[in-house]
Every structure is written in C-alpha cells, then in structure tokens.
A and B are shown apart, each in its own frame.
Chain A
Amino acid sequence: MDLKDLYQEIILDHGKNPRNLGKFDNYNKDAKGNNPLCGDNVHVYLRLNENKKVEDIAFEGHGCAISMASASIMTDMVRGKEEKEVKEIVTDFLGMIKEKDSLETNILKDDEKTKLMSLSGVKQYPMRVKCATLSWHTLTSALDNSDQIVKTEE
C-alpha cells in the first residue's frame, strides 16, 4: 500500500477545491446520499434537457478528500453527456473501483479515463471504497427519480 496512490495530486486538488459545488435553480432531477458510518453526505442536482442530455450538474455535501474529489471529477465528466452514456460511465467506474483493472467504455476520452483512474487507489483501502462511490450511486438515484436516500451501508 502506498498513500501516494491514494492521495494523488489531482485528488488533493479536487478535494480541496471541488468543482461544481453548490446548487443551481432550474435542476429537474436530484437525489441525496449518506454514508451513515462516517456522516458523509452528498446531494446531486442535475438538469436533463428534452434530448436527455445532462445540461448542468452540481452537488452539495461534505466529506473526506476522496468523496469530495470523486463527486467533483464525476460532475465534470458527465456534463454534456446523454443519460444513456452517463449510465454506462457510472457502471464502468463502479466496476473499475470494485474489480476491473481499467475503464472499458468508449464514451470517455483517454485523458478523462486517466482522471477517473486517479481514484483507483481506494481499491487498496476497502474501508474507503464507499467514499469514492457515494456520489456515483447518488447520481444513478437522481437519474432514476428514486425517492430513496442512497446509503452506503447495506
């Protein structure tokens, strides 16, 4: 294990200065996520236009560097993508965090994949995986219009 794998520059940067932090007025989908074990929470807001494209996305919440960076990178990455594409990216990301060595989707460009792979360090820290995945599960919940608050504990 190496802390440098976990706390890469890009994570520290996004963790300290999260992009898309806040709430915007004309969102039409949102969902909340909690990590009851540690008290982290996130609220994802997004606007899906008539062509099912993510016109805008933002999040509110607080948590560790990993969870903040993950939400920050995620929101950056899915803006402008179609709902179907977003879901494919989410599935690919969660698969990578859980078991796969790399990202497989063709939707993301190589530099985007590199950015996302910076979160792969959490694999070595099983207790921290849910920090990286909370905002992604919450995004899915928002797209599915689920009223259920996402919880990381089963």
Chain B
Amino acid sequence: MNIDDIKREFPIFDDKIQNNDLVYLDSANSSQKPRVVVDRIYDFYTKEFSNVGRSVHYLAVAATNLYEQTRVSVQKYINAKDKDEIVFTKGATEAINLVANTFGQKYLSEGDEVLLTELEHHSNYVPWHFLRKAKNIKIEFAEINDNGEVTLEAIEKKITNKTKIISVSHLSNVTGAILPIKEIVQLAHSKNIPVLIDGCQGAPHLKLDMQDIDCDFYAISGHKMYGPTGIGILYAKKKWLEDLPPYQGGGGMINEVKKEGITYGELPNKYEAGTMATAQVIAFNESIKFMEKIGIQNIEKHEKELLDYGLEKLRKNNSVNIIGNPKEKGGVISFTIEGVHPHDIATILDEDGVAIRAGHHCCQILHDKLNLPATARASFGVYNTKDDIDKLDESINKCKKIFNL
C-alpha cells in the first residue's frame, strides 16, 4: 500500500492549516475523513434523501435499502453471526449507555458488582456510575501494572460471586495497551459473566471477529474509523437484544401502540427509536469499504511500523518520558516532557502544524493512578508517515528550547 496515495484520498491534507502542512497525530480522538465518505453525505442529501423505514415512496425505499446495506457491511466487517446483532447508535458512548441502562435495569441490584479497569475512558465508567447512584451497585477496577497494561490475572483477581458484568477496553487510548479480550471473555464465560468490550480504539486499528472473540457486547465509534460523527455501533449477541428491554422510546421502535399498552418492534428496530443519523449511517458504509480496500492487516502493519519508529525516536529524545510500556500496543504514544506542561507542549506543537492532544484524555482514574494531571498524546491513523514523526520530534525540540531545557 502506498501511503502517499492513501493520504491524497483525505481532502483535509490538500490545503495548509495556518500556513503549515498538517501533521495530524490526533486520530485516537477522531480520524480525518476520506473524500468518498464526505461525498457520500453530499450525494445522499442532494440526490437521494428521504427518511428510512417508514414511507413507501421510491426515495424512502431506496434510502431504507442503503441504510440496511451499512448494517450488512458492518456485520460482515466484524464477522457477526446475524445482521440483527448490529444496532446503530449516535456513538460508542451511547452504545455503552444502552447496555449499562438496559442490562442494569434488568439484572443489577444492590450489592452487585460491575468490573471495569483503571484504564477505562470516562464513557465506560460514568454510565456505570449512574447505576451505582440509582441502584447502589459497586464498581470494581482491575488494576494496571507498571507497563500500563491490564492482565488476565488482574481481571481474575477482582472477579467475585457478585460480579454481574465485566466491561473493558479493547485498546487503551492512553497507554495503547491491547487487552487480552478473548481470554477475558473465556474466563468470564466460565463463570457465567457477560462481557462488554469498549472497542473505540480497537475497531479502527485491529482485525475484528465477533464470533471468535465471543464477547456479549462490543461498542464501536464511527468517527474514529474514518467515518462521520454521529454514528456508532453496538454489536450485541442476539439473545441479549431479544432479552433486554428497549433503551429509548419513540417512533420506529414499536409494534403496536394502544392506550392501554405498547408492544415493541422486532430487532434491530427495537433499539433504534426516532429518526436515526441516516446520512451518516449510509456514509459509514464508505468508511468500511475504504478500510476493506486497504485491508485491516495492512493498516495494522503500517501503524505498528509507525509506532516502533515513533517509540525509538522519542526514547532517544532527552526529557521525553513515554507513558506505559505494554507488550501488545496500538498506535498511541502518550508522553510528558520534564519541565513543560502538556498544554504548553500542545500549543507549541500546533504552531508547527503538529496536532496532538493534551490533557487527561477522558481517563482521570488512570491519570490519578499514574500521578499525572495530564499527558501529551500522539496517535496514528492510516495517513500518517515517518515524516510526521520526525516533525513531531523536531517540534518537541522546539518546546525544550522555548522552555530553556
């Protein structure tokens, strides 16, 4: 695969940003969008728009078919058994909220435990916290080790006979640790505990096979997968979607509505109340096709090369501390510079067109554990090159110079 050709498919790189060539190292936050995705949204709105699943006119039928085609594409992409196991949401956050809310309603009561890890994003903690408030459940956190990873043993240590669900990241957005999710699922299932995987960082970078992983739920963010904002996926085993109550009520999710009672619609409509992000769902099909065309194995290989190159380069740079050293690591490098606050790093890098993120990356529990209020983070996408990492390194040197280090 030729990265220059791939990069040309992203219009954001066509023009200078504040007089600089853009060095975009913030893909863990949100990825840039290839032209095919942007064009698809424009074409849909200008030539094909209609609401889906309701009217019988030509445009409505065509739009419904397009919308359902994305469902099938996603099903195939993640190797789910059934297309009805794919629920569209507004994002991965909503996907996790959906599970916490409905599973919590039906299966959690006072004293029950939910097992998370210390490296979870706030979106895989706050929804469970709501249940802690509402139902007096307990939240346990499997600990990270010195490498910034969560091992199977760390999970096992926190499982008790009160553990009702385990919800863990596939890939940490801070340390980059890839969790042994298949082993976690096997362990949990041997104790009859269902598992939700927060796949925000996993899905854009790793090959997914739901039937092989065998998790009960897997949350995906569309905008991190070269897709539009406003679209996420909840993969859930059919038995759960049939068993759990609906999440939101409204049009589209019902079967029959009477004054004395309501019956709910079949899957997947049961979980898709109201008018969905139709254009985004349809355009997300192009994101899947884009990734399939490159091949997820090629994306993984490319990002691994970038990661190895980046780690080598930054380790050689004095005063740079890299956060975490997991054996299995995705394309994320969080770092600090002795004597320069991450926000100052981000502002100075931005002046050179190097876009990174600084802060706690929505992982305050992890930063508390690391005893760091904030870190700087460079994260990779398919369009990044070794040249981008060289520019990052140069800009870091500029930071050091400004701060007289």
Q: Which residues of A are in contact with B by a Cβ distance under 8 Å?
A: 1, 3, 6-7, 12, 16, 37-41, 62-66, 68, 125, 127-128, 131
Contacts and interface: CB of A to CB of B under 8 A. Distances in A.
B158 interface: no
Interface string B76-105: 000000000000000000000000000000
Interface stretch (B144-152, B222-230, B357-365): B357-365
A7 B340 CA distance: 12
A16 B402 CA distance: 12
Interface in B345-361: 347-348, 351, 358-360
B358 A12 contact: no
A64 B344 contact: yes
Interface of B: 18, 339-344, 347-348, 351, 358-360, 364, 367, 373-374, 402-404
A148 to B, nearest CB: 20
B348 A3 contact: yes
B341 A39 contact: no
Given A38-B359, A62-B373, A65-B341, A12 B347 contact: no
Contacts of B402: 3, 7, 12
B344 A7 contact: yes
Contacts, number: 53
Given A3-B351, A12-B403, A16-B339, A39 B367 contact: yes
Given A41-B373, A63-B373, 19 more contacts: A1-B18, A7-B344, A12-B404, A16-B339, A38-B342, A38-B359, A38-B360, A39-B360, A39-B364, A39-B374, A40-B343, A64-B341, A64-B342, A64-B343, A65-B341, A65-B344, A65-B403, A127-B347, A128-B347
23 contacts: A1-B18, A3-B351, A7-B402, A7-B403, A12-B402, A16-B403, A38-B358, A39-B359, A39-B364, A39-B373, A39-B374, A40-B343, A40-B373, A63-B373, A64-B341, A64-B344, A65-B341, A65-B344, A66-B343, A66-B344, A125-B347, A127-B347, A128-B343
A9 to B, nearest CB: 10
Contacts of A6: 347
Contacts of A40: 343, 373-374
B62 to A, nearest CB: 43
A63 B372 CA distance: 11
A84 to B, nearest CB: 34
Nearest to B368: A39
A40 B342 CA distance: 11
Contacts of A3: 347-348, 351, 402
A36 B348 CA distance: 21
Nearest to A40: B373
Contacts of A16: 339, 403
Contacts of B367: 39
Contacts of A12: 402-404
Contacts of A41: 373
Contacts of B347: 3, 6, 125, 127-128
Nearest to A3: B351
A128 B343 CA distance: 9
A131 B341 CA distance: 12
B26 to A, nearest CB: 14
Given A3-B402, A38-B374, A40-B373, A131 B343 contact: yes
A37 B344 contact: no
A42 B260 CA distance: 56
A45 B360 CA distance: 26
Interface centre among B343, B374, B402 (most CB of A within 10 A): B343
A38 B339 contact: no
Contacts of B18: 1
A1 B341 CA distance: 20
A125 B351 CA distance: 11
